Amino acid sequence: MRRYFGRKLLIYGLTFFVAVTVNWMIPRFMPGDPVASMVARANVTRPEAVAAMQAYYNNLFGFDQPLWQQYLNFWAALFRGDFGLSIWLFPTPVADVITAAVPYTLGLIIPSVLLSWVVGNWFGAYAARRKLLDNTVLPIGYVLTATPYMWLAVLLAWGLGVLAGLFPVAGGYSFSLRPNWSWDFFLDLLHHWTLPFLSLFLVALGGWAIGMRNMIIYELESDYSTYLAALGAPARLIRRYAFRNAVLPQVTGLALQLGVIVAGALVTEIVFAYPGLGSLILNAIKNKDFFLLQGTFLFIVLGVLIANFIIDIVYVVVDPRTRAGMAGANA
Amino acid sequence: MSLQVSELRVHYRTLKGEVRALDGMSFELADGEILGLVGESGCGKSTLGKSLIRMDGRMHHVGGRVVLDGRELPIADDRKMNDFRFREVSLIPQYAMSALNPTRKIRRMVTELLRSRGTTVDAAELERRMNQVGLPREVLDRYPIELSGGMKQRMVMVISTLLDPSLLIADEVTSALDVSTQKAVARALLGFRDSGYVKSMIFVTHDLALTHHIADTIMVMYAGKLAEKASADVIVKAPRHPYTRLLLDSLPEVGVRYAERRLEGIAGSPPSLLDPPKGCRFRDRCPLAGDECAEEPPVVEIAPAHHVACWKA
């Protein structure tokens, strides 16, 4: 058990190291000079003033140091929880900008991932072996799962937002409201949350339902199901066993899909101008905001790694065979 | 009479048409009798075993009756058959190694299975029976993957017979085992009969030699029909049907060196059951075949309890 988790942690640690390094590299090797654009924003024309401002900013952000020094500084700051100052929202610390955006992203991703997984699995299991459902609803699942997130998002925004006028198509809450703890604000939040949630939920739902349908048919035809049926066990018991075993690959699937879902959520946020991490990334790129970009990426990488680790633990709990595998590795 | 099967016909639905896997089988099985059912692949022996407990989706009952202890088995009605399964007819499947749910501990699986059938586990009895086949009680608290193939096989044997069925169908139970384990399994099955856990048993196999050790009666099937049925000794020592003789001749004998003499198989292959030929189905491969064989031979009792379907017997 310890060896298994030790190995897992090592892999996660390595992934984190590589991710941080790549994360540090990307903005620095991206074309464009953020300091120049900041100075340009200040509308200063006197050359000596420009030079002084550039020197000040370069020093402030540490760009005057050699690259390797910048890299080491980056790691040191990381462990202090210091992501630097945002260039776009200068001088707000990146950590604050991210903290303000994270609740929106988590509020979107966690319910859509979990609900689509649970509902998709349940529905797929239900549709399997029911010819009518299998022939009508599952084809829709195929279409849904093949739909890109942002495309469905655009369709929903157009159909339910613009044409039907049922839902707002942009923002996390109405521009006329200030964030507060009132019931009105909460309802407004929920109203704005519905469309982005739906687009994420629907795309993922189709995939899980199809996966589950195929898995459960396989399990219902497996030897242990046939044996139970031969001993006259009721269909309820057989289906329960089949579902339990068919869910296992779906758990793995969830771990594999997590990165894709997060990426999809980010793009969806942009479509709906939802004030989460996705919109932050877009703004960070537009404003060549290294630090914000790095901070956001880092946060996403950490989130995905942690979620994967949780799934690893869940898997060990639900599948006795992985536990036996670990015992074998120890022996 | 414990089991009476009369004129049983079971066909498979395929894209090419009906495959007549069982084409009018009739036989009887007495209380306490172990019937060895032998024949080559595709002769219908597994189909017969399945028909008596649970037909799969492609099989359908065309005609004939099965009566067990005076009650007719509704073999064509999957739902009604549930009342008889496990309690009256039980099965040790061919795939015993993978017959247990891999994600349930065995104790829990047995408990859930029995509860779903409306009974509870008698823990002492279960352990006593496990002990009888050499399984320690700790096995109950393990997952199937933690057991060896032989242990799983024995566990399935214990589970299948837990409700003391009248008829047990053991379908190719020894096929996947090595010779020493085969013997242990065969002995355990005999023990089950002698302890009264099962009244009678149909032992489906292609291994004539092993059948001889445990069966009281051996029934040889060919192409969906009964070829010969007699007591085990008679079948092995004095077979009358040419197919049985050839089957016995094709067995290797211990101590014989086959370098000098080629081991003879039976030339040719069984007829297609999609559209079986008229007359005796073994005619094309039979060394004795004559003109009368163009007509189908009836099953005749040529000596007490010795049934043969051959004009030349």
Choose the mutation target among B81, B103, B147, B152 for the interface with A, i.e. most A CBs under 10 Å: B103
**Chain A hits for B99, Cβ within 8 Å:** 223-224, 226-227
User: Which residues from chain B sit within 8 angstroms of residue A233, using beta carbons?
Assistant: 113, 116-117
Q: Does B77 touch chain A (CB under 8 A)?
A: no
Asked if A275 and A104 touch (Cβ cutoff 8 Å), the reply is yes
Interface check B102 vs A, CB under 8 A: yes
pLDDT in tens, A183-192: 888 888 888 8
The CATH architecture of the domain made up of A95-330 is Orthogonal Bundle (1.10)
Q: Which residue has the higher pLDDT, B197 or B262?
A: B197
Q: Which range has the worst mean pLDDT, A47-56, A80-89, B65-74, B202-211?
A: A80-89
Residues from chain A that touch B104, judged by Cβ atoms under 8 A, are 241
Listed residue (B74, B70, B64) closest to B2, CA to CA: B70
- Evaluate whether A86 touches A291 at the Cβ level (below 8 Å): yes
Q: Please give the CATH number for the structural domain made up of B3-245.
A: 3.40.50.300
CB contacts of B156 in chain A (<8 Å) are 227
Cβ atoms B23, B196 nearer than 8 A: no
State whether A232 and B93 contact (CB < 8 Å): no
pLDDT of residue B242: 92
Q: Write down the pLDDT at residue A325.
A: 58
Per-residue pLDDT tens for A70-117? Answer: 888 888 888 887 777 787 877 888 888 888 888 888 899 999 999 999
Distance CA A86, CA A72 (A): 19
Residue B18: other Cβ atoms inside 10 A: 14
Residues of chain A whose beta carbon is less than 8 angstroms from a beta carbon of chain B are 222-224, 226-234, 236-237, 241, 244-245, 248, 318-321, 324
> What pLDDT score does A67 carry?
84
| Percentage of residues in chain B having pLDDT higher than 70 | 96
Q: Give percent of chain B with pLDDT exceeding 90.
A: 51
- Residue A306's alpha-carbon distances to A100, A317, B290, in angstroms, are 20, 17, 80
pLDDT of A330 reads 40
- pLDDT value, residue A329: 42
Three-state SS annotation for A268-301: HHHHCCCCCHHHHHHHHHHCCCHHHHHHHHHHHH
CA triplet A139, A145, A149: central angle to 5 degrees?
140
State residue B255's pLDDT score.
62
Of A234, A237, A244, the CB nearest to B103: A244
In chain B, where the domains are located: 3-245
Find all residues with CB under 8 Å of A8, minimum gap 6, and list them.
Answer: A309, A312
Encoding tokens for residue B30?
A: 């007495």
In the stretch 117-136 of chain B, residues with CB closer than 8 A to chain A read 117
Q: What is the pLDDT of residue A262?
A: 82
**Contact between chains at A319 and B84 (C-beta distance less than 8 A):** no
Which is more confidently placed, A268 or B256? A268
Mean pLDDT of B201-211: 87
pTM of the model: 0.81
Question: What is the pLDDT confidence band of residue B261, given thresholds at 50, 70 and 90?
Answer: low
Q: Which of A224, A232, A234 sits opposite B101 (nearest CB)?
A: A224
Q: For position B312, what pLDDT does the model report?
A: 83
Confidence of residue B290 (pLDDT cuts 50, 70, 90): confident
**What is the pLDDT at residue A45?**
77
Instruction: Dump pLDDT digits (tens) for A44-73.
Output: 778 888 888 888 888 877 777 888 888 888
3-class DSSP state of B231: strand
Structure tokens at B196: 């009264």
**Using 50, 70 and 90 to split pLDDT, how confident is the model at B1?**
low
Residue B159, pLDDT > 80, answer yes
CB contacts < 8 A (A, B): 76
Domain ranges of chain A: 95-330
Among partner residues B81, B86, B146, which is closest to A324 by beta-carbon distance?
B146
Q: What's the average model confidence in pLDDT over B150-167? A: 92
Complex ipTM: 0.90
CA–CA–CA angle B72, B73, B75 (5° rounding) = 140
Which chain B residues in 272-301 lie under 8 Å from chain A, judged by CB atoms? none
Contact call for B99 and A223, based on CB within 8 A: yes
**Tens-level pLDDT at each residue, chain A (331 residues):** 778 788 888 999 999 999 888 888 877 777 777 777 777 777 777 888 888 888 888 887 777 788 888 888 888 888 887 777 787 877 888 888 888 888 888 899 999 999 999 999 999 988 887 888 888 877 888 888 888 888 888 898 898 888 888 888 888 777 777 777 788 888 888 888 989 999 889 988 988 999 999 999 999 999 999 999 999 999 899 999 999 999 988 988 888 788 788 888 888 888 888 888 888 888 888 887 778 888 888 888 888 888 888 888 888 888 877 776 554 444 3
User: What is the average pLDDT value for chain B, to the nearest integer?
Assistant: 89
Of A231, A234, A245, the CB nearest to B103: A245
